[in-house]
Amino acid sequence: MPVPEIGAPAPDFTLPGVLLGDGGTAERSQYSLSAQRGTPVVLAFYPGDGSSVCTKQLCSYDSDLDRFRDLGATVWGINFSDLDSHESFARKRDLRFPLLADTDRSVVKAYGIQMPGLGLKRSVFIVDANGVVRWKHVARIGLTYQDSETITKELAALARR
């Protein structure tokens, strides 16, 4: 599948995810993109729980989570790891946004970011309140990531439309 174009409907999906709650509880539930209508969603696809670049990326998003929330946005991290791996990673780094498990790689395929034999391309998509892709960054090499500043600027521009 090709990467969705700006202005195209975002491929819908439902995935299991884990979210750390207050007191360190881990809540496991299903997350559906279509259920987020009315709220922009930042989909952060990252190659692996605990790798150095992924840890920097997700920790930076977590540190700026209030900035995302102030713009009305929700952040979801997505990769192939299972919920146990996600929970362990979230606990170790105290991540406070959902990590979703695309263990069958269906969502990565739907977003056109699978790299056969290597996993996935580090990617970020901003999906608006109507379920439309409004911004994206798909890395050719997964050694860098889009920082919170860039993403929140795009969210702020979206809010002004």
Catalytic residue IDs: 54
Antiparallel, parallel or unpaired: β 114-115 and 99-101? unpaired
Q: Please name the residues in contact with 157: beta carbons below 8 A apart, sequence gap of 6 or more.
A: none
Across 46-132, the runs of DSSP E, i.e. the strands, are 74-79, 99-101, 114-115, 119-120, 123-127
**Rounded to the nearest 10 degrees, what angle do helices 148-160 and 52-63 cross at?**
40
